[in-house]
C-alpha cells in the first residue's frame, strides 16, 4: 500500500524498498527484511518472540559497498 497508515507493525516493512533522494543526494536505495530469529539470532521458520530487522542501503555512486544495519526486537 502507498499509505503510511498501512505500516502499523514492523512486519509491514518486510520487503519494503524505497528510493531515497534529497536536493543534495540522489540514487540511494533502501531494502528492508523482517524475519523471526531464535535465541542465537539465527533465522527461524517458526514464530518466536524475536524478530530481526535488516536494512540495507545502496548507492552505486557514493558507496563502494552496501551499508547494512540490523536490530533484534523482542515482543
Q: What is the predicted pLDDT for the residue at 26?
A: 87
Q: Give the pLDDT confidence score for residue 18 in this predicted structure.
A: 93
What's the length of the chain? 75
Per the CB < 8 A criterion, the answer to whether 43 and 37 are in contact is: yes
pLDDT of residue 2: 58
User: Which positions of the chain have pLDDT values less than 70?
Assistant: 1-4
Query: In the chain, where do the E strands start and end?
Result: 17-20, 28-37, 50-58, 67-74
Judged by phi (left if over 0) then psi (alpha if -120 to 50, else beta), residue 67 lies in beta
CA distance 8 to 75: 15
Amino acid at each position: 500500500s502507498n499509505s503510511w497508515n498501512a505500516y502499523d507493525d514492523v512486519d509491514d516493512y518486510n520487503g519494503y524498498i524505497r528510493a531515497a533522494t534529497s536536493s543534495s543526494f540522489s540514487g540511494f536505495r533502501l531494502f528492508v527484511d523482517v524475519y523471526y530469529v531464535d535465541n542465537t539470532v539465527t533465522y527461524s521458520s517458526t514464530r518466536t518472540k524475536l524478530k530481526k530487522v535488516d536494512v540495507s542501503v545502496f548507492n552505486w555512486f557514493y558507496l563502494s559497498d552496501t551499508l547494512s544495519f540490523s536490530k533484534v526486537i523482542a515482543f
